[in-house]
Amino acid sequence: MSLRCPACGSTYPDDARFCPKDGTRLIAIGASATPAKPMAGVNAPTPPAGMRATTPRQGMEPPQPRRSLNHANLQGEVLDKRYRIVRKVGEGGMSFVYLAQDVATSERYAIKVLSPALAKDANAMARLRREAGLGIRLAHPNVCHIMRLGETEEGLVYVVMPFVEGEILSDRTHRMGHIPLAQASKWVTEIAHGLQLAHELKIIHRDLKPENIMICRDAKGEDYAVVMDFGLAKERKAGSELEKLTATGIILGTPEFMSPEQLRGKALDARTDIYSLALMTFEMLTGKLPFEGRTQQEMMIARLRNDPIPLRRMRPDLDFPPVVEKVLLKGMERNPDDRYQSAPDFADALAMASRGEDPDAPSVTGIFQRIFRR
């Protein structure tokens, strides 16, 4: 049990009796804050030489010990005198996500509060600080990026992000059974634009999956896609210190949508996200993944050894232009060198294929350019 001085607020171990600063009798933390008075028949302790005994001014409360906050239930709290917690909107194993409102501007934010165990993990915090620095540069209409990393006086560590409202892509696909080709192509283009900004900044998402895509609605009532949770994002040019943070033997990401090189633990670049995007597109169009297996391990092995199940065999009831399958297969090539080399390249090829055009066919412009170069 710890003791505190009701006059100055200092705390001491339980073997102390009087405050050495002002001579006041110590009380148990949580006991009444009324200043201690000398007991009848007992002389008051004499303050140390050169010090004067002090008492709180009339009307002033002595300092109170720091209160604790429950990270799992913060509704109504105000973090750092700025973010008023409105309600909880989600939770995971190591964090809770809240809708918050700026007390000065009323602007809404998503606040992700880390669990105490994660906040005390030095490696996890080093990684989070790095990701926060990267995320701030990812401001884009199709990306939900980290805006700020903060810590309250009570020791809660939190991340501030734009508040994005909508429906998770996996829920939309499950609800509809499959996404129409034209709609899927539009969302893929938007996702690709967000990824391209990250890739230009040397950042890889590496956990791209339908659960990390939010389908939102703009002021005109049109749906658009936002890439969420760059929490596993990684710079392509990683130094030795960064490599220590992602220890060998630990695979980060979601196995169903990992690229073959990610499953093998190989070096990654932007093309791993392109593979995941192509795999997601296949699932959007069919409601199913193009690899089969009774267990997650069998599906991972199938991705490493087998070719994807043909689009038309997976959904013979849906009429896709044949060239769509060609684009998807190129996006899901096991060798990264054989895939599209940028996310917009894949999105552009899919958009052409959705119109029945072959993106590899020579264009009229290209033919004329070759003629006039001769």
Q: What is the CATH number of domain 78-162?
A: 3.30.200.20
Angle between helices 343-354 and 181-200 (to 10 degrees): 160
Among all residues, which ones are annotated catalytic? 207
For 233-268, write each residue's pLDDT tens digit: 554 443 333 333 333 333 445 678 999 999 988 999
Tokens of 364: 């009229």
Question: Apex CA 373: angle with CA 367 and CA 374, to 5°?
Answer: 100
Q: Specify burial of residue 331 (Cβ count, 10 A radius: 0-12, 13-18, 19+).
A: buried
Query: Which of 117, 202, 211 is CA-nearest to residue 166?
Result: 211
What is the second-level CATH architecture of the domain 167-354?
Orthogonal Bundle (1.10)
Q: In what order do the strands lie in the sheet with 3-4?
A: 11-12, 3-4, 27-28
Q: Residue type at 318?
A: L
Task: Report d(CA 29, CA 50) in Å as an integer.
Answer: 28
- Residue 89, classed as helix, strand or coil, is strand
The torsion angles phi and psi of 331, rounded to 5 degrees, stand at -65, -25
On whether the pTM is more than 0.85, the answer is no
Q: Per-residue b/e over 78-105, b at no fewer than 16 CB within 10 Å?
A: ebeebbbbbeeeeeeeebbbbbbbeeee
Q: Does an H or E element contain 337, and which?
A: none
Residue ranges per structural domain of the chain? 1-38, 78-162, 167-354
Q: Could you read off the pLDDT tens digit of each residue along the chain, which spans 374 residues?
A: 567 776 666 776 665 555 555 556 667 765 444 443 333 333 444 444 444 444 445 555 555 555 567 777 889 999 989 999 999 988 876 788 999 999 999 999 999 898 888 888 888 788 778 777 777 788 899 999 888 888 888 888 999 999 999 999 999 999 999 999 999 999 999 999 999 999 998 888 888 999 999 999 998 999 999 998 875 455 444 333 333 333 333 344 567 899 999 998 899 999 999 999 999 999 999 999 998 888 878 888 888 898 899 998 899 998 899 999 999 999 999 999 999 999 999 999 999 999 999 998 876 544 444 455 44
Q: Does an H or E element contain 181, and which?
A: helix 181-200
CA 233 to chain centre: 9
DSSP string, 162-174: E---SEEHHHHHH
